[in-house]
Structure 1
Amino acid sequence: MKKQCSEESSQTSPNQKLSLEHCWFDDACILDMDYFVKTLSGIKAKGVRADLIGSIITHYASKWLPDLSTEKGLTQFEESSPESVTASWMKKRFFVETLVNVLPPEKDSIPCNFLLRLLRTANMVNVDSNYKTDLENRISWQLDQASLKELMIPSFSHTCGTLLDVELVIRLVKRFVCLDHEGGITTAALVKVAKLVDSYLAEVALDANLSLSQFVTLAASLPSHARPTDDCLYRAIDTYLKAHPSVSKQERKGLCRLIDSRKLTPEASLHAAQNERLPVRAVIQVLFSEQTKLNRHIDWSASFGSLRSSSVNGVFDTPARCLSKREMNTQQMEIKKLKEDVYMLQSQCNALQAQMEKMAEKKKRFFKWKKLGFGKSVGEIENVEQQEVESEFGFGKQTPMDMKASLSKGRTPQKWGKSLS
């Protein structure tokens, strides 16, 4: 059968050999890796394109190696391998290392999701670090083509506390950003990776063992221009704060510094303004950013209206269409609504500022009382204050009769007594 296939393939063009090579995919002797490598080398020598070579490798690996097939059910490898767990583990390790060696060097010859599944298996069977590094480099070249499902590789190390291998994703993203610095990545690819990283952060943020440093490192590994909006990053940070209620105030401030409040949409800004998990300073920054956007929009609308009126009056030679009554009413309603939003934001800012001043005054009074009381308790401080009031006004804890007697005694001057006598 193999001889017949080779004779047919010699009479066809190199780019038509993919369908003919399927005749030896189902052969049991293909489990011999030496024969597979020799056959693949013969196909490469005939000038077959790199993407077709990659298709042959992915089809072969998905058929014979477990965990590489996207279809459910047992693979041929599992059906024909009744040996022990150790022998199967060693065979998988040799299989992965051989596949990595025969991968074509071209960038897009192998799909990124297949490489991620191959890397997952390589980590599971603990192949040599050189093969892992090679796979990570290939994945970082085309990380913008990866899916979130395949990127969520579990951690097979007992020393790692998280369920997912976060350090692996950090390495992949950093290598991808290095390629961007070298000019080998487009802006669209960078935006896709930023969206992928933010989605990954939202998933891994639910892990209670995820450290704050890992979250911050992965979130800050991308440049600021990679995110058109920070809504997904804000969602990931909010998820992390919700899953980690023990985060300190300073750590919350550090997390919120990752967000650019100017890049939040109105929906995200509204949610952030009402989010009790965020520090007060972050909420104020969001409110001020929204107020600045509204003021800028109002100024732009006003300048646009003046420009249109000037063009109507003949200041500019360019013709301009006059607004209809309906369009003018719509524009006036939008400006009125924007003004109302500005007033509402100003009132919220004033209320927050008054609340902060009130909290600062309470804090100042607390330290002042503590200084006057010399470390006394609250009851003792109140007694000291009451004694000061009593000494100032001249009365203490007296009964009404005592107060009346003291007041009557105070009303009778000494000279009046002498005159009566």
Structure 2
Amino acid sequence: MEESTIQEVVSSQSEPAGAILVGILLSGESFEKLKEDLDELESLLDTLGVRVHGRIVQKRHRLTAKTLLGTGKVDEIKELAESYNADWVVFDRALSPPQVRNLEEMTCKSVMDRTGVILEIFSKHARTNQAKTQVEIARLEYLLPRLTGAWTHFQRQAGGGVRSRGMGEKQIEIDRRRARERIAKLQKQLDQIRKEKQTQRKARSQELKVAIVGYTNSGKTTLMKSLTRATVAGKNELFATLDTNIKAIDPRTRPKILLSDTVGFIRNLPHSLVESFKSTLDEVREADLLLHVVDVSYHSYEDHIRITRQVLEEIGAGDVPQLMVFNKSDLLDDPILPRVLKAAYPGSQTLSANSPEEVNQLRDHIYGFFRKNLVSYSVAIDISEQTALSKVYNNCLILKTDYDETGKMVFYVQSTRATMAKLRKYIVELEDDESSEEKSMEPDYVTD
């Protein structure tokens, strides 16, 4: 039986590829929760262009080491897959390499688990060199232990190849070595990319940074497009965005506020992907504010909130200030829910990313968050000191401009403490807290 990726099967067939979903309900687990997991798995497969022909669920007191399921249920899966001529049997639970091998032998179908499907989607949507490198590392690490009993020549970039059983341990060890060598080479490439990205982030260190985070397909990219008036295309599919997009919320703001859209989260996100994408998620860890976007039209949105917060903790961004943004309010049937959310999540915003008026309110809310933390002071700078003047014009909100008796330009400004530190030698007056608060409320955050 040939080993091929879902993408290869889909692209080689005139008819849509098909799959049978398999779920296992253990004692004490909720059937409703399992149904949600299978619904999400079906959405993942739909993103890959795979049609789900049917589902099979078995209740069990414990999982079996050989196949997770009982042999009778495996026979039922085989019959259902054959009746629909399905290409794949996809399990919602993680499968060990021996379990995959046993199930493929018993069903005569290709078998994949949830992790493998997510990796396929990440591979499909990777566009930049960084994303492609990260995904390939994760896929090779996923495939490496699955070489037992099957040998694979890593001729394709994603680690695909031809499976042939009974070729002997020598070929298996050769391919394991090739996989490890490829991973080591890719890791060096990724380390170099990380250094370059770190240099780019350092150049943006004076700007204020906002990162959009949330469960996949919650409308993050659409919200970014609306907030920045950018041409970033939002898609109604899972993991449409893998590469970090960075735009200024408004080019006229001083200090500049940068907004980044990052990869979406999902339950049971493979650990290898979290590790590989940590460099991409540096934008989240180093942000001054997180916009935690939630699809409020989804009935179990609180579960999405919990999962997103878990991932944020895992990547070291749990302490970054968050603004809850409940998106897709235009799809709500319950008119009372926005008021309930406001009470349950103080300071949160409920909106539709497609409503310009509501997005403007969110933008003002972001400005207000940063405005409260700006420092008011005045600096006197000689017109010959272009570097210092550039810092004022590019990184400060200028409230007033004047000249002193020596001809120096005097700027009454508000900025971050980081910018103030760079202009420290030019400071002639630092406002007290009361006057700072009064001044910060007078000018609009956006200046012409």
Q: Fold match, TM over 0.5?
A: no
Task: Normalising by structure 1, report the TM-score.
Answer: 0.24
Task: Normalising by structure 2, report the TM-score.
Answer: 0.23
> Which structure's relative contact order is higher, taking Cα pairs within 8 Å and 6+ residues apart?
2
Task: Select the structure that is richer in strand.
Answer: 2
Larger radius of gyration: 1
